[in-house]
Amino acid sequence: MSERHDAVEVIVAKRDGAELSDSQIDWVIDAYTRGEVADEQMSALAMAILLNGMDRREIARWTGAMIASGERMDFSSLSRPTADKHSTGGVGDKITLPLAPLVAACGVAVPQLSGRGLGHTGGTLDKLEAIPGWRAALSNEEMFAQLEDVGAVICAAGDGLAPADKKLYALRDVTGTVEAIPLIASSIMSKKIAEGTGALVLDVKVGTGAFMKDVDQARELAETMVGLGTDAGVHTVALLTDMSTPLGLTAGNGLEVAESVEVLAGGGPADVVELTVALAKEMLAGAGVSDVDPAEVLASGRAMDAWTQMIRAQDGDPEADLPTARHTHDVPAPATGVLTRLDAMAVGMAAWRLGAGRARKEDPVQAGAGVVWHARPGDQVTEGQPLFTLHTDDEHRFDRALASLEGGYDVDEGGSAFTPSALLIDRIS
């Protein structure tokens, strides 16, 4: 048992800019998880961390204490190496769906413990739950059997992994402390290290539709997380990727599943394919598999076979029709010219207001709601032709969604030369 401390003493130390000692960190995380440190005290400490930061030793110790609050998984008994991916969240970010079966088809097991969406960023479990019959909750035994048999599992994390994080995450959400880099990094990495994967690739999003709006902040977060993973013995790499424009052509649960299946069938939007293949290469390299080209495996249809097995293993019907929204509304292009900007945040907010996302953890989501855009920046559009199609079960939602999109895109009638921003910004290892 760690040395005993007092919550006020720990808060005051960080408030005044001091470094917290190892025993202070161990004690406060353990005491908070057990309910001995009150929410208002942890709120004060989280705000002090947001304002004054933490050094690498403090963040590593904080992460370790959160891991120690629960169980650790161990995949060493599997017949193949493991690799996982975590995205910091964006709009239209359906990459996990084609990526997990693709990497499995290349011979590496993917234990993808995923979450639900909150606000304008979508959640992987919400997307997959649009598939009739599919279930997110698996026992550890079911998860291991599926990893051995199919090679990929996407499911909800059990309550046993980093329970301290679950409490702290909910608290940060309502106290304005979500943006603290030490708290973001330790939240993500405590779960991923406890999950026990051998290699981890981080997709750190930058831009209007991401938590990190500027590249310097995103790089600091990526470097912090890569350091934490490396120190914990996990082969960790981060890619900084652009989230000023949403990924693909869809945002919304069932809509994104349909687009992911297109990618697995050898089609789909070029940016989704590019990022899926780039992340797959990093996961395979981290797991020590260098002789397989994921682009070839994707084209061969083997990733689609792995997808079908993965969905069936979790009681989903991969052949079933996906749910569709009861109402749709087209938004016409305002002029003829080149679409030069499509703001990820505007699209994400519109999808959220249509019912694809939730404002509170307990809110339901609509499986068929969301936004389809019919052009990406650089594409030619014609005045009066649909630029967006909005989908929802509740037509009263259209007005607020349309308000979100206002000012969220530009059409240049001059058709000037357009240079798209690169999707892959940097690699940090």
Domain locations in the chain as residue ranges: 83-157+191-313, 327-412
62-77: b or e for each residue (b if 16 or more CB lie within 10 Å)? bbbbbbbbbeebebee
Say what the alpha-carbon torsion angle 358, 359, 362, 365 is, to the nearest 10 degrees: -20
Give the pLDDT of residue 170.
83
* CATH match of 327-412 with 1.25.40.80: no
* Number of neighbouring beta carbons within 10 Å of residue 222: 26
Question: Along the chain (429 residues), what's the average pLDDT of each consecutive run of 10 residues?
Answer: 83 97 96 95 97 96 95 93 94 96 98 80 89 95 96 90 88 87 94 93 95 92 96 96 97 97 96 98 96 96 97 97 97 96 96 88 88 96 97 97 97 82 95
Helix residue ranges, H only, 195-336? 215-231, 253-264, 270-286, 294-300, 302-313
Active site residues: 86, 165, 172, 187, 191
Taking the C-alpha atoms of residue 11 and residue 227, their distance in angstroms, rounded to an integer, is 26
H or E element that contains 204:
strand 199-206
Amino acid at 177: T
Sort residue 257 into left (φ over 0), alpha (ψ -120 to 50) or beta: alpha
CA atoms within 13 A on the CB side of 18: 12
Three-state DSSP state, 304: helix
Taking the C-alpha atoms of residue 56 and residue 193, their distance in angstroms, rounded to an integer, is 16
pTM of the model: 0.94
| CA distances for 151 relative to 76, 108, 239, angstroms | 14, 7, 24
* CATH match of 83-157+191-313 with 3.40.1030.10: yes
H or E element that contains 171:
helix 163-175
